[in-house]
Chains A and B, each alone.
Chain A
Amino acid sequence: MAIREMSEEEVRGRVRALLAEAHPDRVSQFEFRGKQYDHGLAWVHFPEGYGGLGISPRLQAVVNDEIRRHAETVYEDMQINPIGIGMGAPTVLTHGTEWMKKNLLRRVFTAEDIWCQLFSEPGAGSDVAGLATRAVRDGDHWVVNGQKVWTSLAHISKWGMLLARTDPDAPKHSGMSYFLLDLETPGVEVRPLHHLTGEAEFNEVFLSDVRIPAERMFATEGEGWKVAITTLMNERTAIGGAASRKGGGSIGALLDLWKARRGLTAETETILRDRVARLYVEAELLRLTALRARAAQKAGNPGPEGSISKLAHAELNKRIWECAMEVIGDDSLLYEAGYRRRRPSGESFATRVALAKYQFLRSRANSIEGGTSEVMRNILGERVLGLPGEPRTDKDVPWKNIPRSA
């Protein structure tokens, strides 16, 4: 993709033209976001006609900033359709068919269609390329059988990015294909899976004789891993790179808690103040590192260095909420929300303290979801620093001969 030059001023002008036509404070989410897409302001680095202008991805920040200046209503990509926008769109653009680009991208951006990622299986998490879900060709369809797990948002998704094995005799990485699955297809069963707060944010997805039209394959048969890498690289950047405003996000919440602290002894306060300040430094540096990465970002998909932010974000976030519990003090013995087994309610938390208690628990997943911290360290060591990999026994043998967990 060739990058077109465009001045910041012109970009701002285009945003104002969009706002004159459709203003988020006055029209619906679908309408506003649809118009934003049509103006090429959804993902500015995407080609024209697909929600972009073919300009540098750096300029997306200018678009977002200009919208914030003029509107109260701001939609966060990572809230309205995290998987669709963060991972689905770049995957469609890079490996999708013309039909997919034409018919899916706009509705991803507006969040009319929620997406989910059907990669992980009970036996294949970090080693997603070891997955066992089978797809067998039958005329102009593929028939899929298997089980996926930890599938976030599957219960509200229209589309799923499905990775399945099409050739068990081939080495693991070359025997997979990547499909677009309509979750309303017969044979797809979504069962809630509860996490440690009691909420069922993710699911188990059972696939029994699910028929997928052959043209819903990304790239070609056997190229699933290549497509999956695009999805995964974008996932890491979406998670780690979603840096918020200065002093916003988790660290902002910690600072607010700190300001409202009560009952701490002077000595505890001295110790915790240093901890809070240290976390602030790290949060600021994570934000600045993400900004620096974005400034250097070329068109196209992110590389392995995206794991820097993903790793740092995960580990930092856990520590921020641990610290928050210490600032809360004895009251952290209580969990007022209760462990209700239910779907995430989407309601916001009544108090800062309630949010912190939830996040203290929820953040434990940060170093697991989207690739574990251990896997991120392997990627940084091997792909970025060029250190030798571990000896592998699972690479050049047929997948079916590799030992695996049930």
Chain B
Amino acid sequence: MDFEFTPEHEELRQTVRRFLERESPEARVRALMETAAGYDERVWKRMAEELGLPGLVIPERHGGAGLGPVELAIAMEEMGRVLLCAPYLSTGVLSVYALLQVASEEERGRLLPEIASGALIAAVALPPQAGSGDGACRATREAGAWRLDGSAGFVIDGHVADVVLVVARTAEGLGLFRVEGGAAGLRRTALPTLDLTRKLSRLEFSAVSAAAVSAGDASAGLERALALTIAALGAEQLGGAQRCLEAATEYAKTRLQFGRPIGSYQAIKHKCADLLVEVEFARSAAYHAAFRARAGNDAEAAEAAHMAKAYCSEAYFHAAAESIQIHGGMGFTWEHPAHLYFKRAKASAVLFGDPIHHRRELARQIGI
């Protein structure tokens, strides 16, 4: 059943929240977003050692916590609330899911324990989404060894990844390949991002030697991995949207104009109320996607994931935009955090396909 949260879930949420309140307050976010790496290695290690977060959905036999999409959604929601600067989406979500879905037992055994322990940062280089036209990789076999050529744009945390998992075209379809971050022939360029709290880079491969992680055509597995990833991202967006609503509401209760709290004006009160409805919809979408992902029916999971990514993206953007508006001139300043959420909302709406893309996929799923 959907939406059946247990006391353990609540405990997980509280644990993650307390940790992030300590380790990722606004001042840390602002400091990290200005660094090239974009994350704090020490905090990442602690996220692994104390909370088991990078390995949350990694099976126990590979050193993980053996939990699933529902627990991941809870963690992502909390991270989204505070705009955590860490390679979690790239390593703990996308890479892990890609490996779980398509990797050979040997490759899983090689990489997953390292990810779970916090020792390894991984990124996934995806083919261009419909709409960007930038980059694509090809893998060819020469004398028993694989070589990669091509490029990939907008690789999340590609600049700091110890290992890059590259989705490349082969004679048999799509394959997943492992490349060392410092491999010869790999050029990594950090990109100037709209959202400073999540780093992107462009990778160029020229005759880079690579190891095959998957066998045969991995398209279907990669598709599943992406669906699981966007479901998790939906939860992160929910957390951000919820935080924007809270911040706006708190402010509306305390800010006085004309001798009254601005929240006593219906223009503001109704804005907050409309956001509440949208945030609750986003919550339903994100949680539904998480529970459907856990249930494991691919078609249902994909439908719920597209719905979540389409809806949560727009709900987050709207909440972030209205938060600026409700905060007035102050909400427009650099010093106020409202703009950090606004930029995260916009960027996360574009990552892995914008809402138009996901509604189109959904339309296909439901046969219209």
Main SS class of interface, B:
mixed
- CB of B3 closer than 8 Å to a CB of A: no
Interface band, chain B: 35 or more
**A263 in the interface, Cβ–Cβ < 8 Å?**
yes
Binary contact readout A314-347 vs B (1 if CB under 8 angstroms, 0 otherwise): 0000100000011001111111111101000000
CB distance from A314 to the nearest CB of B (A): 10
Task: Report the bound CA distance from A394 to B260 in whole Å.
Answer: 9
Known contacts A125-B329, A333-B194, A265 near B267 by CB under 8 Å:
no
Interface string of A365-406 (1 = CB under 8 A from B): 101110011100110000000000010111000000011110
Contacts known (A196-B342, A332-B350); A339 close to B258, Cβ less than 8 A:
no
The answer to whether A194 and B255 touch (CB under 8 A), given A149-B329, A332-B194, A393-B260, is no
Closest to A336 in B: B192
Does B258 contact A405, Cβ atoms closer than 8 Å?
Answer: no
Q: Does A191 contact B (CB under 8 A)?
A: no
Neighbouring A residues of B331 by C-beta, 8 Å = 368
Contact, CB under 8 Å: B333 / A357: no
- Whole-angstrom distance between the Cβ of A399 and the nearest chain B Cβ: 10
Closest CB-CB distance, A101 to chain B, in whole Å?
Answer: 32
* Structural contact, B325 and A127, CB atoms closer than 8 A: no
Residues from chain B with a CB closer than 8 A to the CB of A337 are 192
* A125 adjacent to B342 (CB under 8 Å): no
A372 pairs with B265, CB closer than 8 A: no
Known contacts: A126-B257, A365-B332, A374-B265. The answer to whether A263 contacts B194 by CB under 8 A is: no
Chain A CB within 8 A of B354 CB:
yes
Q: Interface digits, B256-299 against A, CB 8 Å rule (1 contact, 0 not)?
A: 11111010010110000000000000000000000000000000
Is there an interface contact between B133 and A374, defined as CB atoms closer than 8 Å?
no
The CA-CA distance from A149 to B335 in the complex, in Å, is 14
Query: Is B121 close to A, CB under 8 A?
Result: no
In the complex, whether A158 has a CB less than 8 A from a CB of chain B is no
Contact A127 to B130, CB < 8 A, known contacts A333-B350, A368-B332: no
Chain B hits for A341, CB < 8 A: 334
Q: Are A268 and B356 in contact (CB under 8 A)?
A: yes
Please give me the residue from chain B that is nearest to A367 by CB atom: B325
A-B contact count (CB 8 A): 138
- Give A255 to B132 CA distance when docked, in angstroms: 20
State which residues 183-240 of B face A: CB under 8 Å: 191-196, 200
Q: In chain A, what residue has the closest Cβ to B131?
A: A329
A125 and B258: CB pair below 8 A?
A: no
By the criterion CB–CB under 8 Å, are A125 and B257 in contact? yes
Query: What residues on B are CB-neighbors of A326 within 8 Å?
Result: 354, 356
Q: Is A193 an interface residue (CB 8 A)?
A: yes
Chain A CB within 8 A of B159 CB:
no
- In the complex, which residue of chain B has the Cβ closest to the Cβ of A339? B196
Taking a contact as CB atoms under 8 Å apart, the answer to whether A357 and B194 are in contact is yes
Contact of B324 with A by CB under 8 A: yes
Alpha-carbon gap, A325 to B331, bound state (A):
21
Residue of B nearest to A200 (CB): B334
Which residue from B265, B329, B354 sits with its C-beta under 8 Å from A369? Answer: B329
The listed residue with most A CB atoms (<10 A of its CB), out of B192, B329, B347, is B329
Q: Is the CB of B332 within 8 A of A332?
A: no
When distances are taken between beta carbons in the complex, the residues of chain B under 8 Å from A377 are 267
Inter-chain CA distance A379–B258, complex, in Å, is 15
Q: Which residues of B contact A374 (CB under 8 A)?
A: 265, 267-268
Bound complex: CA A337 to CA B191 (Å):
11
The residue that B255 contacts in the complex, of A339, A394, A405, with Cβ under 8 A, is A405
* A130-B346 contact in complex given A264-B131, A329-B131, C-beta closer than 8 Å: no
- Contact at A198–B334, with CB atoms within 8 Å? yes
Q: Which chain B residue lies CB-closest to A122?
A: B330
Do the beta carbons of A194 and B335 come within 8 Å of each other? Answer: yes
* A195 proximal to B (CB < 8 A): yes
* A68 in the interface (beta carbon within 8 A): no
B134 interface residue per 8 A CB criterion: yes
Q: How far is the CA of A318 from the CA of B45 in the complex (A)?
A: 41
Assess whether B334 is in contact with A325, with CB atoms less than 8 Å apart: no
Task: Looking at the assembled complex, report how far the CB atom of B30 sits from the nearest CB atom of chain A, in whole angstroms.
Answer: 11
The reply on A271 being an interface residue by CB < 8 A is yes
Q: Which residue numbers of B lie inside 8 Å of A, CB to CB?
A: 128-134, 153-154, 191-196, 200, 254-260, 262, 265, 267-268, 321, 324-325, 328-329, 331-335, 339, 342-343, 346-347, 350-351, 354, 356-357, 360
Other A-B pairs, 15, CB within 8 Å; known A196-B332, A405-B254: A125-B257, A127-B259, A130-B258, A130-B259, A196-B333, A196-B339, A196-B342, A268-B356, A330-B128, A334-B191, A334-B192, A337-B192, A374-B267, A378-B267, A403-B259
Question: Could you list 25 examples of A-B contacts with CB < 8 Å?
Answer: A120-B329, A125-B328, A126-B257, A126-B258, A126-B262, A195-B333, A195-B334, A263-B131, A265-B131, A268-B357, A326-B356, A330-B128, A330-B129, A330-B132, A330-B154, A334-B193, A360-B346, A364-B321, A364-B325, A368-B329, A392-B259, A393-B260, A403-B256, A405-B254, A405-B255
Closest 8 CB pairs of A and B: A394-B259, A330-B132, A196-B339, A263-B133, A194-B334, A127-B257, A374-B267, A335-B194
